[in-house]
């Protein structure tokens, strides 16, 4: 079977597109299909669930951070051996980097890929009006191929038939199913979104129930028939980027067969319930640059692994602050690792761990590594959310002065003012034009709240591996 592609979009956040995407992944796997999942936008949590269900890493597709050619190559490469590429959208179908254009949106990604869109609607409080919503989405952007509709949270079979009849008579999109509300399938949430896959909310029993519900509620054969062939199969080769200066964008060349650089260093990647937010492609690019990745746990491990550099991603350190603090041997070892001048890159949750103290959700402070002279506060919660462009102002383990990369911030925590003696090596450019200094460099430890996508400038991965190789 030739690989095919579908995009699952929602009319808004919270309509159930993640649940339906997971159900489709599980149901098609039951049928013996190999399914490759992707996620539009900068989300970390949904890809974790995708990987749990599909058994394959899920990759982010972000138009603003990484561009069109990167998205096409990523889908072609990772879905080349799959039967179906299933792409979960972000927020509402047309929501993206700003309110005046489609950049970063699910609609933009679907049009780049030439992929049919399955629109998920929450029909819990409407009947014929649901067709007006679907028709509005069709008319808003006629270039978007809105192929099918799934009604979620219907009141029963009769309600589902009403939605289907209204849609069928008023819209081009085909109604392919309706799901009743199932409280047993609702995934728990917290302040940054869903409780993560690593924490076990999607049990085997819940996965089986989810697939049962999807199989009985959605016409899987009709939906699969609507999927289109993957575009530009020739783009499945390696992605190469030119230069490290400016806002790098990928230029595509075919992989000559080498692909992986010779092993040069070992990088310790913190991965446990406290640190688990990493773009799959960041890790791939580090490996491609010659790094062996050693996954370890600041929560559970008694010693640091034998590595040349450390990478702390985001996550929920505030939920595990006491355990992190009580693992005093590792806290001390991380501080000594930094004092020896070995490279450390820490983003968001990693920055919080490397601070002097971290307050938990009850406002109780816990001593952390102490590299960054500040305290992290969780109260009062203040949401920071948005894309940002990072301009490197000085030499760092991640990039030289003058390099540019793109990333995203999403956190509720704040920090006390960092003393001016600590170097700021980032100039952050926001979508609305405001600029600010950030990116704290102490020795060879780089700390920031920004989650950088290395594919926005893959020289970041090469630079970090080179820095680790220098010792």
Q: How far is CA 203 from CA 88, 214, 370, in A?
A: 21, 16, 37
Instruction: Tell me how far apart the alpha carbons of residues 163 and 150 are, in angstroms, rounded to a whole number.
Output: 9
Helix ranges, 194-295 (H): 204-217, 220-226, 280-288
Q: Which of 66, 93, 171, 348 is catalytic?
A: 348
* Region at 69 (left for phi over 0; alpha for psi -120 to 50; beta for the rest): alpha
3-state class (DSSP) for residue 33: coil
Any catalytic annotation for residue 468?
no
Q: Is 347 exposed, middle or buried (0-12, 13-18, 19+ CB in 10 A)?
A: buried
Three-state secondary structure call for residue 413:
coil
CA–CA gap between residue 18 and residue 53 (Å, rounded) = 12
Angle in degrees, CA 253, 259, 263, rounded to 5: 145
Cβ–Cβ < 8 Å for 463, 282: no
Cα angle value 39/41/47 (rounded, 5°): 35
Among candidates 194, 188, 192, which has minimal Cα distance to 385?
A: 192
For the chain, state the CA radius of gyration. 23
Residues known to be catalytic: 348
């Amino acid at each position: 079977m030739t690989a095919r592609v579908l995009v699952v979009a929602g009319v808004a956040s919270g309509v159930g597109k993640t649940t339906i995407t997971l159900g489709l992944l599980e149901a098609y796997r039951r049928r013996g299909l190999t399914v490759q999942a992707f996620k539009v936008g900068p989300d970390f949590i949904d890809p974790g669930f995708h990987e749990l269900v599909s058994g394959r890493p899920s990759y982010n597709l972000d138009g603003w951070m990484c561009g069109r050619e990167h998205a096409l190559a990523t889908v072609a490469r990772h879905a080349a051996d799959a039967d179906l590429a299933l792409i979960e959208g972000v927020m509402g179908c047309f929501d993206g980097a700003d309110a005046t254009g489609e950049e970063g949106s699910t609609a933009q990604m679907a049009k780049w890929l030439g992929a049919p869109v399955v629109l998920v609607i929450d029909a819990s409080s409407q009947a014929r009006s649901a067709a007006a919503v679907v028709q509005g989405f069709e008319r808003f952007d006629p270039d978007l191929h809105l192929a099918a509709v799934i009604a979620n949270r219907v009141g029963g079979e009769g309600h589902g038939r009403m939605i289907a009849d209204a849609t069928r008579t008023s819209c081009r999109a085909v109604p392919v199913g309706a799901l009743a509300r199932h409280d047993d399938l609702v995934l728990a949430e917290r302040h940054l979104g869903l409780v993560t896959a690593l924490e076990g909310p999607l049990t085997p029993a819940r996965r089986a129930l989810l697939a049962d519900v999807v199989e009985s509620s959605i016409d899987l054969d009709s939906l699969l028939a609507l999927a289109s062939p993957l575009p530009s199969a020739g783009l499945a080769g390696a992605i190469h980027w030119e230069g490290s200066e400016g806002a790098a964008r990928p230029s595509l060349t075919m992989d000559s067969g080498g692909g992986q650089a010779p092993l040069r260093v070992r990088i310790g990647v913190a991965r446990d319930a406290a640190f688990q937010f990493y773009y799959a492609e960041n890790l791939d690019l580090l490996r491609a640059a010659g790094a062996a990745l050693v996954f370890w746990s600041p929560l559970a491990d008694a010693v640091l692994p034998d590595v040349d550099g450390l990478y702390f991603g985001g996550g929920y350190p505030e939920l595990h602050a006491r355990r992190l603090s009580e693992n005093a041997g590792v806290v001390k070892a991380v501080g000594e690792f930094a004092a020896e001048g070995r490279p450390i890159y820490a983003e968001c949750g990693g920055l919080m761990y490397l601070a002097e103290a971290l307050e938990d959700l009850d406002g109780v402070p816990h001593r952390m590594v102490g590299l960054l002279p500040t305290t992290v506060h969780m109260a009062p919660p203040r949401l920071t959310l948005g894309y940002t462009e990072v301009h490197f102002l000085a030499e760092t383990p991640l990039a030289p002065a003058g390099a540019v990369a793109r990333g995203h911030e999403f956190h509720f925590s704040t920090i006390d003012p960092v003393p001016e003696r600590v170097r700021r090596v980032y100039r952050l450019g926001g979508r609305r034009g405001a600029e600010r200094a950030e990116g704290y460099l102490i020795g060879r430890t780089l700390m920031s709240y920004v989650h950088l996508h290395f594919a926005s400038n893959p020289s970041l991965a090469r630079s970090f591996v080179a820095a680790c190789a220098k010792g």
